[in-house]
Amino acid sequence: MTRIGLFGGSFNPPHAAHQMLALYVLETCPVDELWFVPTWAHPFGKELASFADRAAMCELAAAPLGPRARVSRAEEALAARPGFVASRTFDLVAELERPDRELRLVIGADILADTAKWYRWDELAQRAPPIVVPRHGYPGGGGPAVESARGGSRLGIIMPELSSTHVRELVRAGDPALAGLLPREILRYIAEHGLYR
């Protein structure tokens, strides 16, 4: 049985905190692999770089983490199906389930306040118990891993406050601080492809 942590997001772009979180989950949580899962489209209709660009940048983020980290393009496959309307995590988990896999969702603590809006959340949490990442300003935003979240587990650290929105602002401004927030290969990719200008 392969235990897989599904780390979904827009990854617009993936940044150093995403990499740090992925490594932390791989090293401390009961998973054998961690899959970056870029979403096909933003759930609230925000503009994103192309799926191809975001998936390519996720590949660059995963590469230094070794063979236990990879990128899933499952959302691309789901979006190609007739009648596709929107990305739903429940559909993603159903797509990736196999008898030889145990799935876990890697989610932020901010998500827990909105689970009532998620499609079939209770069943989803049973099929892929969440690994909850504490975030500043949200319940459970700090402290040790002592709580469970509907069958899931809570990490014992708080990741650095860094957002892709802030990264994009720095790209547009040409701010040199960007170099400390993005993996080098992603920084190079953004420059070579003229993203976020």
pLDDT for 148 equals 41
Distances in Å between the Cα of 52 and the Cα atoms of 90, 98, 177, 185 are: 23, 26, 26, 16
Q: For 111-139, how does the pLDDT look when each residue is reduced to its tens digit (9 = 90+)?
A: 777 888 888 999 999 999 999 988 766 65
pLDDT for 24 equals 92
Tell whether the model's pLDDT for residue 75 goes beyond 60.
yes
Place of tokens 């909850």: 132
In angstroms, rounded to a whole number, what is the distance separating the alpha carbons of residues 159 and 127? 26
Of 32, 3, 7, the C-alpha closest to 100 is 3
In angstroms, rounded to a whole number, what is the distance separating the alpha carbons of residues 13 and 196? 9
Give SS3 for 196: coil
pLDDT for 83 equals 82
Give SS3 for 52: helix
Q: Specify whether the CB–CB gap between 186 and 61 falls below 8 A.
A: yes
Token pair, residue 59, equals: 């590949």
Tell whether the model's pLDDT for residue 142 goes beyond 60.
no
CATH 3.40.50.620 given to domain 2-162: yes
pLDDT for 35 equals 98
pLDDT for 105 equals 96
pLDDT for 52 equals 97
What mean pLDDT is reported for the chain? 88
Between 150 and 50, whose confidence is greater?
50
Bridge partners (DSSP) listed for residue 36:
7, 71
pLDDT for 145 equals 34
Percent of the chain with pLDDT over 70: 88
Give SS3 for 133: strand
The structural domains of the chain, with segments of one domain joined by +, span: 2-162
Q: For 82-119, how does the pLDDT look when each residue is reduced to its tens digit (9 = 90+)?
A: 988 777 899 999 999 999 999 999 998 877 778 888 88
Between 139 and 22, whose confidence is greater?
22
Token pair, residue 11, equals: 């990854």
In angstroms, rounded to a whole number, what is the distance separating the alpha carbons of residues 31 and 95? 19
Task: Name the band, by pLDDT with cuts 50, 70 and 90, for residue 149.
Answer: very low
Between 177 and 101, whose confidence is greater?
101
